[in-house]
Chains A and B, each alone.
Chain A
Amino acid sequence: MSRKGRKVLKKIGRILLLVPVLLLSAEIRFVASIDRTEVEIGEPVILTVIVEGEDLGQIPYPKLPDLPDFNIGGTSTSQSTSIQMAGGKSIRRQLVNFIYTLYPRSVGETVIGPCELELSGEVYRTKPIGMKVVKGGAVPGQPKSAQAPLPSVSGDDVNGNLRLSAAVNRRSVYQGEQVVVEYALYTRLRLADMSLGELPSFNGFWVEPIFDAQRIEFQRKTIDGVLYDYCQLKKTALFPMSSGQLRISPMKLNVAVLQSPRDFFDFFGTTKTVVIESDPLVVNVIPLPVEGRPGDFTGGVGEFSIVSSLDRTSSEAAEPITLTVRITGSGNIKLVERPTIPDIPGVRILDPEINEDVRFAENRIQGYKEFNYPLIPQTDGEHAVPAITMAFFNPEERRFETVSTRALKFVATQTSSAVELAQSGGLKVTGSDIRYIKPDVKRLSSQPMSAGWWLVFPYMATFVMLGASILYRRHQARLISDRAYARKVRSSKLLKIRLNEVKQHLMKNREKEFHAALSRVLLGYIGDRYNLEVGALTNEGIIQELRVRQVPAETIKDLEYLFNQCDMRFSPGMKCDDPRMLYEKTKALIAKL
């Protein structure tokens, strides 16, 4: 092949290699745009970065270029996915808009640099966008650039003519103490439309709404000599449930501001949507003191009083009486738990029914919480409901206070008949009497009052049993660990068997076998008794060993005699002594050993 031909092939190869890359890159659209190229200082510029493609999976946030000339005031994303069927294949198209609100900081020409997106190893870049920032219009005001560059401090908008304010009445409270948070809109602009972007989140608070605007109705209000249209949007009482720094995230509003017409033909004017958000709020919550916390503290923080009452003063036939304990006051009344009712002897106290009602007055959540306890008398007579106490924390005084009710009394009658009536299933009980005597019996058995002195025997028996078991256990343990002991124990059993054998031979007058067996008895027993390897020793050796073990000389002599007699079976013609005598002697010897 010629050189040129090779070059062509290389080129084709390169193109072929590029094809999949091209295909892939063709699938992703990554562009940035701004809503206008010329803005006044303080006005927002909306930068939209679009990522579009097929089966992209999780799309990361694009990396914005350094924007020294802008403050970034809020980010939002919108995403749409469509699934198309094409050629039996489903294609998932994704479109993500990343929307940034930018506030120019200085006047002049500026460039928004390329945004970067890294997706499955590839890096995509948008084109840089140029724009122009011009001086502010008629309304004088603090330029945005003078503000701190925090994005969250973007409540001031459109040169301070539009503001969403958030305020708490107190920055530092006790846990459970009331905080009122208020959101209001201030504007000097004509607003065409308004919608809620995001509600503030009150994590860590018990929320008691006070006011939620249903309609936007502006009132006039002068602040620092400037007249604003003012509208209260939301007012809520919050009761912190935990201590520490609790953060309330800002509220966000989308406001369409009416622009003044540019020329005659722009008759209706244009609107411009701005996102305004309130400042985030932080409330410092102090935990309630642990010291001096009374036992009957039920979580109340504020100022409360307690009253108890009975709906009747007498109960017939175990009819329930309602004990009402009412806690009235201001504070976290809904969080107050039920006070403990002391036990009333002869009265059953059922679980209470709870009523509550709160309203907002004099800048406080106030109201009552009522616990209705049904009391069921179990015994006749006058029952006293003791004073019920409740402790709460008074944040004004910074101490716990205890309030209590007065003691009450009621009279119960005919409780037992009611119980009987209930038990007999609605039968009419006309009277009551003791039960009849026990009938005749054939023989009366005497029932002992208590057991006699003989009761000690079983206990003694148990000690014997326990002692025996411990001894047996020790014996077992020794059998395993102590070889000599094991041999000794085994020998007594073997001895019996062997002696029996000897006796059998003796009875049947089999002299030879008798002597052999007798020898086995002696050797075996001595071996086990003194833990000797008798098989490896001669008779003299055994006797030597026994002497070492200080066996009495007389016994050894007997043993020697027996050994000799047994050995006589090997020398024919020699007459042994009487086998019966030998047998008895052996037994006597073993007893001695």
Chain B
Amino acid sequence: MTAALTYAFLVFLQFGLNSTESYRRGNAYYEQGKYSEAIVAYEQASKEINNGGVYYNLGNSYFKRGMLGKAILNYRRANFLSPRDSDIAYNLNFARNYRVDKISSAQSPFMNLLSEVLHSVSLFEAQLLTTILFMVSVFFLSVLVVYRRKAAVYMLAASIFICLFFFISWLSWRAEIEGSHAVVVAPEVSATSGPGAEYKEILLVHDGAEVSVRETRGGYALFQLPGGVGGWVPTDALEYIF
């Protein structure tokens, strides 16, 4: 038993060390301007460990190589893990402004603000905080059941309110994940009206376009842009964020 635990710990450490190692290597390449090598190292690190910093550096490397789609994809992943990191948000926005396709999001400022507030905690944080606040709420409910104090009502209401906020944040993240969000990684691809090259070309999209995938059929995916337009593209032209 002890031996098994020690082994597990060693394996964990090994992984940790390995990923740290590839991460360092990536940083070194990046500093020298060897972005392609940096990409390989960071990709390795990102396979071994889930860390916003790794995705961020990977995104930077892709951006320097001019692969906008991949850059946005990795910034999105980094942003998912560390939503309050201003560097990630800045570079994501920066990369978005470099896109060929200018897709204006038709969202109202209020909705933007709401989304920003809800996404100020990551999914994991939202889950944890929801659970903790739920426990706190039940604790106050128990206090209320046993002692019937008015103060407990206020505390209960407050904790339920905060709990609900994090729960909505949780749900909104889940919706994001289940929305099958993807990024166009091919530099330029023609979308067709059906799943296959023989269909009529209806739309030209460039790398970096953030889409949601409606369905896939025989190596083709039907994507949709925020405005509602969309079409079929080969699945390898897209990469899922989550």
Asked if A450 meets B123 with Cβ closer than 8 Å, knowing A441-B53, A444-B20, A469-B146, the reply is yes
- Is A588 in the interface zone, CB < 8 Å from B? no
Asked if A444 meets B51 with Cβ closer than 8 Å, knowing A434-B60, A466-B142, A470-B145, the reply is yes
Asked if A437 meets B27 with Cβ closer than 8 Å, knowing A448-B50, A448-B124, A449-B123, the reply is yes
Contacts of A472 in B (CB 8 A): 146
Report A442-464 CB contacts with B as 1/0, cut-off 8 Å.
11111111110001001101110
Chain B 72-103 interface residues, beta-carbon cutoff 8 Å to A: 80-82, 87, 90-91, 94-95, 97, 102
Contacts of B139 in A (CB 8 A): 462, 465
- Name the contact of A441 in the complex, choosing from B20, B90, B143 (C-beta under 8 A): B20
Q: Nearest CB to that of B144 among chain A residues?
A: A469
Report A227-271 CB contacts with B as 1/0, cut-off 8 Å.
000000000000000000000000000000000000000000000
Report B124-137 CB contacts with A as 1/0, cut-off 8 Å.
10011001101100
Closest-CB distance, A346 to chain B (whole angstroms): 6
Closest-CB distance, B35 to chain A (whole angstroms): 11
Pair A449/B63 contact, Cβ less than 8 Å: no
User: How many residues belonging to A are interface residues under a CB distance threshold of 8 Å?
Assistant: 40
- Is A379 in the interface zone, CB < 8 Å from B? yes
- Is B57 in the interface zone, CB < 8 Å from A? yes
- Is A362 in the interface zone, CB < 8 Å from B? no
Pair A459/B131 contact, Cβ less than 8 Å: yes
- Is B171 in the interface zone, CB < 8 Å from A? no
- Is B108 in the interface zone, CB < 8 Å from A? yes
Pair A447/B20 contact, Cβ less than 8 Å: no
Asked if A466 meets B60 with Cβ closer than 8 Å, knowing A443-B20, A447-B52, A455-B131, the reply is no
Q: Nearest CB to that of A378 among chain B residues?
A: B109
- Is B19 in the interface zone, CB < 8 Å from A? yes
Residue of A343, A440, A442, A455 ringed by the most chain B CB atoms within 10 A? A440
Contacts of B49 in A (CB 8 A): 444, 446
Q: Which B residues lie at the A interface, using CB under 8 A? A: 16, 19-20, 23-24, 27, 30, 45, 49-54, 56-57, 60-61, 63, 80-82, 87, 90-91, 94-95, 97, 102, 104, 106, 108, 122-124, 127-128, 131-132, 134-135, 138-139, 141-143, 145-146, 242
Add 18 more A-B contacts to A437-B57, A446-B16 (CB < 8 A).
A434-B63, A435-B94, A437-B27, A442-B20, A444-B19, A444-B53, A445-B51, A446-B50, A447-B50, A447-B51, A447-B82, A449-B50, A451-B124, A451-B131, A462-B134, A463-B138, A465-B139, A465-B142
Q: Which A residues lie at the B interface, using CB under 8 A? A: 343, 345-346, 379, 381, 416, 432-451, 455, 458-459, 461-463, 465-466, 468-470, 472-473, 476
